[in-house]
Amino acid sequence: MAQPPQSTPDMPGALSVTPTVKWRFPSVHPEGRKFVLGAAFIALTVYWVASHFIGWLLILLTIWVAAFFRDPIRTTPRGDKLIIAPADGLITLISQVPPPPELRGADGLAEGTYTRVSIFMSVFDVHINRSPIAGRIRRMAYVPGKFLNADLDKASEDNERQHFLVEGADGLRIGFTQIAGLVARRIMAFVKEGDPVEAGQRVGLIRFGSRVDVYLPAGTAPRVLPGQRSIAGETIIGEVGANARLTGSSQ
């Protein structure tokens, strides 16, 4: 049975209306549209000229390409202390490490130990990456490298990668890194140094399957566990100053 409208405490007599949220088919990011159109052209050409069977296989491949570049709308929680997941995927590693050399310095991350949360993106995950906090892009550093399995711990140091450093209005600095993998061969950034960003704003993309590392500051315990899945722009992976660790089990 539908519930009657409720009055809000700050506005006696006023009706509280909950907006209706409807599912909608995700759009394809502009970066991926040329790949979708190219795959569709090849599939239809093969279907009509060479083989219906192979054509159908290529049509299915075209659908997968469109799904890979899907760009869903995300609802980002707001809060000065919240650190939001920059990537969709599986939390594969949580470890205590020093920050990357490219992000250290007086105007970067301080020396010390940080909690690194690694998010692995399979070829079936959304590959749009988002900013973990609101602020300004203070530093970006591209590092060429190998294309090892992104599941490996050493991928953070050996693989091709793109570092970001975001500084909030309160001086909080969060570093995160796009890392190429076995299949990924292109790391893209949608922002540049000096650009302002909102928490959950799209900042880059990786083709096709890889990993993103986030460096939580000292005194901040992760609010996720290995084996959990994160949603870019929505999952809270840490809250600054909250150092109570989570426990859990896989089942």
Residue that has been written with the tokens 């609010």 in this structure: 223
57 burial via Cβ count (<10 Å: 0-12, 13-18, 19+): middle
85 contacts 232 by C-beta, under 8 angstroms: yes
Which residue in 118, 156, 210, 230 is the catalytic one?
210
At position 109, the amino acid (one-letter code) is L
Residues in the chain: 251
Q: Report the C-alpha gap between 94 and 196 in whole angstroms.
A: 28
DSSP secondary structure letter of residue 36: H
- 210 noted as active-site residue: yes
The angle formed by the CA atoms of residues 17, 21 and 27, to the nearest 5 degrees, is: 150
Q: Report the C-alpha gap between 129 and 77 in whole angstroms.
A: 16
Q: Which residues are catalytic?
A: 210
